[in-house]
Amino acid sequence: MTREFIHQADRELTAAYEEPMSLEQYIDRILERPQLAAHASKYLLEAIESAGTRTVVEEGEEKERYRFFDDPHNDGEHAILGNTEVLNEFVDDLRSIAAKRGKEEKIVWLEGPTATGKSELKRCLINGLREYSKTDAGRRYTVEWNISGARESGGLTYGDRQVSDEEEWYASPVQSHPLSVFPPAVRERLLDQLNERLEDHIPVQVDSRLDPFCREAYDYLEEQYRREGHEELFSAVTSAEHLRVKNFVVDVGDGIGVLHSEDEGTPKERLVGSWMRGMLQKLDSRGRKNPQAFSYDGVLSQGNGLLTLVEDAAQHADLLQKLLNVPDERHVKLDKGIGMDIDTQLIIISNPDLEAKLNQHADRQGQDPLKALKRRLDKHEFRYLTNLSLEAELLRRELTNETEVWVADSYDQLEEMIREPLVLTVRDSDHQVTDRELAPHTIEAAALYAVVTRLDTNDLPPGLDLGDKARLFDAGYIHDGDDRLEKDEFDFADDTTDGEHGIPVTYTRDIIADLLYETQDRHHPDLSVEDVLMPRDALDAMADGLIDAPVFSDTERTEFENRVVQVKNGIFSAQEEDVLGAIMRDKRVDVETVEEYVEHVYAWAENEPIVNDRGEHEEPDPLKMKIFEIQHLSRFDEKHYSGTDPSEAVRSFRTEKIITALNRHAWANRDEEFRVQDVNPKEIPVIRTVLGSHDWDEVRRTFEDFDPRQWDDPPAGTETADVKERTIQNMIDMFEYSEASAELTSRHVMGQVSYKWD
């Protein structure tokens, strides 16, 4: 078993690295596969696009999302949830920058409040680029030098160290592109030939010269061979004994530079590095500063060749003006006499406080000293999630360290994921290990409350509350009785503050984490049910904690407290639906019966025959339709029919509620050639009601002696006791409740129902 792990590690490392090659071999390689020579922004774009896309629904609209941002190489560990439109705009900018279509002088700026996914983006980029560079399609190359065969003095060494064999090779400290070895005119001809073979619409562009360290080696070798009278100087300098091309795995310090908020030093030290004191006396500097005596540990040096990230940019605001001309000039100074070309995609990440610093002189208008900098910044704003399913997924991640990205074939599947219970093992104050259950709908309740606090009320349509808006944004539709209301039917504004403010996921996480260490049976002291956290427990704690949380203003506290009631009502309706479904489980109609009814209604409306199981044509059966409508649709009885002939009310119901909804669903699911895809009868609102919803009048008719006021402790042998026993078991079987959470949930629902039972 141990050797198996060792062998697996061997295989991964072997797959990540290639044997070094000569410059000629490299040219042959890239002429065959031109994308391997990509410049920084093109490479980053290719890495993102290589993972493909998937369709998601955010803010009620379908969008194509790049899977790269799901962190697929690392099993979703640092996936960015939501903000798909912002990420797509970021990729569009990369495409323009890579193709030099007018945005190459821009500094990409990603801004947003805390806990909106900016840090995840940084990790996702680092992880994704690292793993992509290990693949055949994503190989990244640089050069290394060996001057041992041509030196007369100390030559190319770090310090006074004398070495031999493989240790004589020194790689470019800033990942210089192999094509930068060529003189500009030759390189231009080579790139022309390369791009003719490139299938991509974005040409490879390599404009940089060798970095100072590599230039020192090149110049030294050129001088030695010129003294010896070599006619083919370039061939001699770049021969396999002096120069070779090696692939490297992209990582922080190797193609990725990250400037953290806590990093210190002068602007030059943070940007490109610093001179190493005491080294100049040991090196053959020939009366000047030697680039071998330079520490290439600045963020631009580390990120040369691919990506430079400035984290928490407000802490490095003094650097931004120093970076002003870097994107378009692509050149920085190590010293007054030594400059370095760079090829890196520059991205700065900040909270909103950076914008406040940039606008400190805005009242000076044309005299604003930061105006030129602000013109260079290309801002993309991350916001808090406004999708219930994404917030629920994020909250579960925060509580459990789960990394799997939720991918569902339908919103029904997402709904199941949202409402799922969660069991966590905690150690209490007495050091006892205990399992604590977050009952079904608890994660949903906390996530929905957080989302509701983030939504703008100014564009709220009449008749809808913020909970409705949240569910419209998540699913793209809501059900209102027999009708399905699509988001497109409502006029939501494009310039709202949705997602700009609200309860962050970190607040919700901390509230629930604290509750996990408390006994959760305070609502039912007579019941020996512990270790269950109910939705109302989470909502009450979140609302109560607002007063002591310094992150919220007084106005926000008041506003957020007022919104919790809407969420409680919505979650109670979901719990009530679970209890009703469990009570009436044996009375539910199966999908096949519904599909048969829909088929007969459609044939009846079109005056066409149907095809039975034997392949025979037969007329739609009026009796089957009547029986279904009376037994399963509480709105109809015998007085609505003359024999089997339907009344006008039944006819209207069939055409308006069944046929119209079916046609609308078929139209929405057509393909590009207008062929109807799978039509799901469950998407017809009235049929969805038949399949999954019941009401208390139906319970009263079915169980005449049932009394919800006896639910907490029903007398033995009564119908209420029998109904309760079956209901608790059905809640466990159907909706993944535990016995304890089923008891508490059903008690809560029956407590409300009993008030209006008579």
| DSSP string for residues in 191-205 | HHHHHHS--SSS---
Which among 84, 65, 71, 56 is positioned nearest to 120, based on CA atoms?
Answer: 71
User: CA 522 → CA 518, 534, 564, distances in Å?
Assistant: 10, 11, 20
- For the residues of 387-441, what is the DSSP string, one character each? -HHHHHHHHHHHHH---PPP--SSHHHHHHHHH--EEEEEE-TTS-EEEEEE-TT
Element (H, E) at 331: strand 331-335
Lookup result for tokens 């703008």: 456
Q: Is residue 451 part of a domain?
A: yes
Residues 351-355 have a mean pLDDT of 84
DSSP letter for 534, please.
-
Q: Is the pLDDT of residue 545 over 70?
A: yes
Task: Name the residue range of residue 641's domain.
Answer: 586-756
Q: Is residue 181 part of a domain?
A: yes
173's tokens: 């400290």
**Residue type for position 535:** P
Q: Is residue 17 part of a domain?
A: no
**Residue type for position 612:** N
**pLDDT recorded at residue 61:** 86
**pLDDT recorded at residue 478:** 86
Element (H, E) at 611: strand 610-611
| C-alpha gyration radius of the chain | 34
How many domains are there within the chain?
Answer: 3
**pLDDT recorded at residue 215:** 93
**Residue type for position 646:** P
Which residues contact residue 708 at a Cβ distance below 8 angstroms, ignoring those fewer than 6 apart? Answer: 720, 750, 753, 754, 757
**pLDDT recorded at residue 177:** 96
Element (H, E) at 282: none
Answer whether 0.85 is exceeded by the pTM. Answer: no
Which residues contact residue 118 at a Cβ distance below 8 angstroms, ignoring those fewer than 6 apart? Answer: 110, 111, 112, 349, 382
Higher pLDDT, 287 or 202: 202
Q: Residue 49 burial (CB < 10 Å; 0-12/13-18/19+)?
A: middle
The answer on 540 and 502 residing in a single domain is yes
Task: Characterize the bridge pairing of strands 251-252 and 274-275.
Answer: unpaired
Q: Is residue 720 part of a domain?
A: yes
Residues 418-437 have a mean pLDDT of 82
Q: Is the pLDDT of residue 4 over 70?
A: no
Q: Is residue 461 part of a domain?
A: yes
User: Which residue, 555, 584, 613, sits at the end of a domain?
Assistant: 584
The answer on 606 and 569 residing in a single domain is no
User: Which residue, 549, 584, 619, sits at the end of a domain?
Assistant: 584
Please count the residues of the chain. 758
The answer on 452 and 600 residing in a single domain is no
**pLDDT recorded at residue 670:** 58
Per-residue pLDDT tens over the stretch 264-279: 889 999 999 988 876 6
User: CA 198 → CA 99, 139, 188, 643, distances in Å?
Assistant: 13, 16, 15, 75
**Residue type for position 59:** E
Q: Is residue 708 part of a domain?
A: yes
Q: Residue 80 sits in a domain of what CATH number?
A: 3.40.50.300
The answer on 309 and 257 residing in a single domain is yes
Residues 296-306 have a mean pLDDT of 94
The answer on 683 and 553 residing in a single domain is no
Q: Is the pLDDT of residue 159 over 50?
A: no
Lookup result for tokens 């390189």: 187
DSSP letter for 286, please.
T
> What's the chain's average pLDDT?
86
184's tokens: 């500009």
Per-residue pLDDT tens over the stretch 650-698: 999 888 878 877 777 666 555 555 444 555 665 666 666 665 567 888 8
The answer on 236 and 173 residing in a single domain is yes
3-state SS record for 112-129 = CCCCCCHHHHHHHHHHHH
Per-residue pLDDT tens over the stretch 461-478: 888 899 999 999 998 888
For 345, the 3-state DSSP assignment is strand
The answer on 652 and 580 residing in a single domain is no
47's tokens: 């890495």
Q: Is residue 471 part of a domain?
A: yes
The answer on 630 and 650 residing in a single domain is yes
What's the rounded Cα separation, in Å, for the pair 682 and 704?
Answer: 30
Give the percent of the chain with pLDDT over 70. 87
Which among 180, 101, 144 is positioned nearest to 341, based on CA atoms?
Answer: 180
Q: Please check whether residue 292 is in contact with residue 156, taking contact to mean a CB–CB distance below 8 angstroms.
A: yes
The answer on 103 and 51 residing in a single domain is yes
pLDDT band (50, 70, 90) for residue 483: confident
Q: List the Cα angle 58/60/65 in 5-degree steps.
A: 30
Per-residue pLDDT tens over the stretch 45-99: 999 999 999 999 888 888 999 999 999 988 888 999 999 999 999 999 999 999 9
Which among 410, 409, 299, 413 is positioned nearest to 348, based on CA atoms?
Answer: 299
Which residues contact residue 528 at a Cβ distance below 8 angstroms, ignoring those fewer than 6 apart? Answer: 521
Which of 344-348, 353-357, 361-365, 584-588: highest mean pLDDT? 344-348
The answer on 75 and 85 residing in a single domain is yes
User: Which residue, 584, 599, 625, sits at the end of a domain?
Assistant: 584
Q: Please give the biggest Cα pair distance in the chain.
A: 113
What's the rounded Cα separation, in Å, for the pair 458 and 496?
Answer: 8
Q: Is the pLDDT of residue 14 over 60?
A: no
99's tokens: 């193709």
The answer on 661 and 536 residing in a single domain is no
Q: Please check whether residue 317 is in contact with residue 256, taking contact to mean a CB–CB distance below 8 angstroms.
A: no
Residues 241-269 have a mean pLDDT of 93
Q: Is residue 464 part of a domain?
A: yes
CA end-to-end span of the chain, whole Å? 69
Q: Is the pLDDT of residue 163 over 60?
A: no
**Residue type for position 61:** E
User: CA 329 → CA 345, 583, 595, distances in Å?
Assistant: 13, 72, 67
Q: Is the pLDDT of residue 425 over 50?
A: yes
Question: In terms of C-beta distances under 8 Å and separation of at least 24 residues, what long-range contacts does 91-99 make, across chains too?
Answer: 91/45, 91/48, 91/49, 91/66, 93/378, 93/380, 94/41, 94/44, 94/45, 94/48, 94/345, 95/45, 95/202, 97/41, 97/345, 98/39, 98/41, 98/42, 98/44, 98/45, 98/202, 99/201, 99/202, 99/203
The answer on 560 and 603 residing in a single domain is no
DSSP letter for 218, please.
H
**Residue type for position 732:** I
